[in-house]
Amino acid sequence: MAGKKITEPCGESDVYREEILDHSRNPRNKRKPDQVTFSSRKANMSCGDSINFYVYVGDDSRIEEVGFEGVGCAISMAATSMLTEDVLGKDIEAVLAMGEEDISKLLGAKIGPTRVRCAMLGLETLKRGIEEYRGVRELRRPKTQDTSYR
């Protein structure tokens, strides 16, 4: 950001358009699903925001069920709500590749530097869960005897 002129520190003015407010007031998938493969939690202490993500992963590494619980500002809640709709059916590897641009696209507005952490909290929580899940899966995978190099 160095040298870049800040005109809208919080982002574009249409961040609070009706679609986002609707998602923040009535978040989609704000519940714990019946089946859960893994869950994850992340908090943004400076805002007092926190999110618990619940994911059920099918056999083909695709997200079959997703839900979240948490408290936060309109932007963090709306972004997380929209994210749950977006990632349903996606491969977990594809979710790991998501970033700020994808969240901006979902929100339909560029998020300024002062609010980017709010917007990213949901995705970061979900990615943390996927990373932990992948790690556990690697550990659990039975070691195959690889003799090819012998």
Q: Which residues bind other proteins (CB under 8 A)?
A: 7, 9-10, 13, 15-16, 21, 25, 45-49, 71-75, 114-115, 118
Which lies closer to other proteins via its Cβ, residue 1 or residue 97?
1
- For residue 86, the minimal CB distance to other proteins (Å) is 22
Which lies closer to other proteins via its Cβ, residue 18 or residue 146?
18
Query: Which residue in the block uniquely carries the two structure tokens 């039975």?
Result: 142
Query: Which residue in the block uniquely carries the two structure tokens 């679609």?
Result: 19
Give CA–CA dist 58/64, Å, rounded: 6
133 touches 92 (CB < 8 A): yes
Which lies closer to other proteins via its Cβ, residue 55 or residue 122?
122
Q: End-to-end alpha-carbon separation of the chain, Å?
A: 52
Which lies closer to other proteins via its Cβ, residue 36 or residue 73?
73
- For residue 44, the minimal CB distance to other proteins (Å) is 10
- For residue 126, the minimal CB distance to other proteins (Å) is 21
Query: Which residue in the block uniquely carries the two structure tokens 């998020």?
Result: 111
45 touches 63 (CB < 8 A): no
